[in-house]
Amino acid sequence: MHVLVTNDDGVQAAGIHVLAAALQRDGHDVVVAAPDTDRSGTGAAIGLVNPDQHVDAARVELPGCDGIPAYAVDGPPGMCVIAGRLGAFGPPPDLVVSGINAGLNTGRAILHSGTVGAALTAQNFGCSGLAVSAEVADPYHWDTAARIALDVLTRLADAPPRTVLNLNVPARPYDDVAGIRWARLAPFGAVRAAVAPAEDGRYQFELRASGLVPPPDSDQSLVEAGYAAITTIIGIAEAWPPERDDHDALVMSSQPVPGAPLDEVHTIPDASLPRFLHRPHGAPPDPDPRPR
């Protein structure tokens, strides 16, 4: 399989080197195209396109990645994925793997994550994506996250086209990970943003402990309990009431703003395939699906 590996921490970040090398050892045809600097927090941005419409990308050598073509792109991860899918770095990839991010990407705050934004851009541009993030630790457990990413890829191969999985891995040795669990997005994170006026017209922007405990089946709680957590996500989709065959509902004045409840499970947006990939509501968690 042709795999494009990207990230938002930048092409020289340790996590992407471990991930690319692991994918190559697993037999994939790997190319790396990642931002030339840390572009964390850029979501699915493509950034400023130059007036003459060029994008700079330089060939680079990455530690531990002998034989893997790698490009440092002057753009955020979303641009790396778009360029890759359009054939900029060889054959368009069948799959985009993004990471391994230094730090978890859990809960609804993943809207802002460049790691996740790359996977969602892959979905928008016609292929599946996997975002991989590792819990902060010193040292980071990159090898654990890479091995579990390979485990999860075997599931992604059976999933509908344009599936996006968000994987978060606890900071543990591989054999100490409690298992892989389907997770729901935490409605809030362990930290929350706060902003306050500082001096000289600046504002202090901080992430503070929220003091809130997320639900036990959420990505954040499962990682804290020692599980690797996977969540199916989609990018841009219509919010629409469930009764979409009700034509009266199409009349704007017949009801206030339509919108699906946030806890509804959304199917993967591929009209040709009614399949979906999620843990059904009310179902018990999977038995440990981790290959040994």
Q: What is the DSSP string of 187-202?
A: SS-SEEEEEEE-STT-
Cα(40)–Cα(104) distance, rounded to whole angstroms?
12
By CB under 5 A, what part of segment 34-93 binds Mn ion? 40
Residues contacting Mn ion: total by CB under 5 A: 4
Neighbours of 179 (CB within 10 A): 15
Smallest separation (angstroms) from Mn ion to the CB of 144: 18
Closest residue to bound Mn ion by CB:
40
Q: What separation in angstroms does the CA of 9 have from each of 17, 39, 89, 262?
A: 11, 6, 20, 30
Cα(33)–Cα(71) distance, rounded to whole angstroms?
5
Smallest separation (angstroms) from Mn ion to the CB of 207: 14
Check residue 98 for interaction with Mn ion (CB under 5 A). no
Q: What is the DSSP string of 130-183?
A: EEEEE---SS--HHHHHHHHHHHHHHHTTSPTT-EEEEEE-SS-GGG---EEE-
Instruction: Tell me which residue has tokens 């509804």.
Output: 264
Q: 142-156 and 14-25 helices cross at what angle (nearest 10)? A: 50
Q: Which range of residues in 1-9, 17-25, 263-271, 279-287 is near Mn ion by CB under 5 A? A: 1-9
Answer for which of 24, 42, 98, 101 binds Mn ion (CB under 5 A) is 101
Answer for which of 4, 5, 6, 9 binds Mn ion (CB under 5 A) is 9
Q: Between β-strands 228-233 and 164-169, what pairing exists: parallel, antiparallel or unpaired? A: antiparallel
Answer for which of 8, 135, 151, 224 binds Mn ion (CB under 5 A) is 8
Instruction: Tell me which residue has tokens 């060029």.
Output: 54
Residue closer to Mn ion, measured from CB, 40 or 106: 40
Residue closer to Mn ion, measured from CB, 162 or 231: 231
Smallest separation (angstroms) from Mn ion to the CB of 171: 16
Contacts of 44 (CB under 8 A, 6+ apart): 78, 117, 118, 120, 121, 124, 235
Q: How far from chain centre, in Å, is Cα 286?
A: 21
* Tokens (6 digits) for 132: 């991989």
Smallest separation (angstroms) from Mn ion to the CB of 114: 6
Q: Residue 148: which of 230, 59, 249 has the closest Cα?
A: 230
Residues found near Mn ion in the complex (CB under 5 A): 8-9, 40, 101
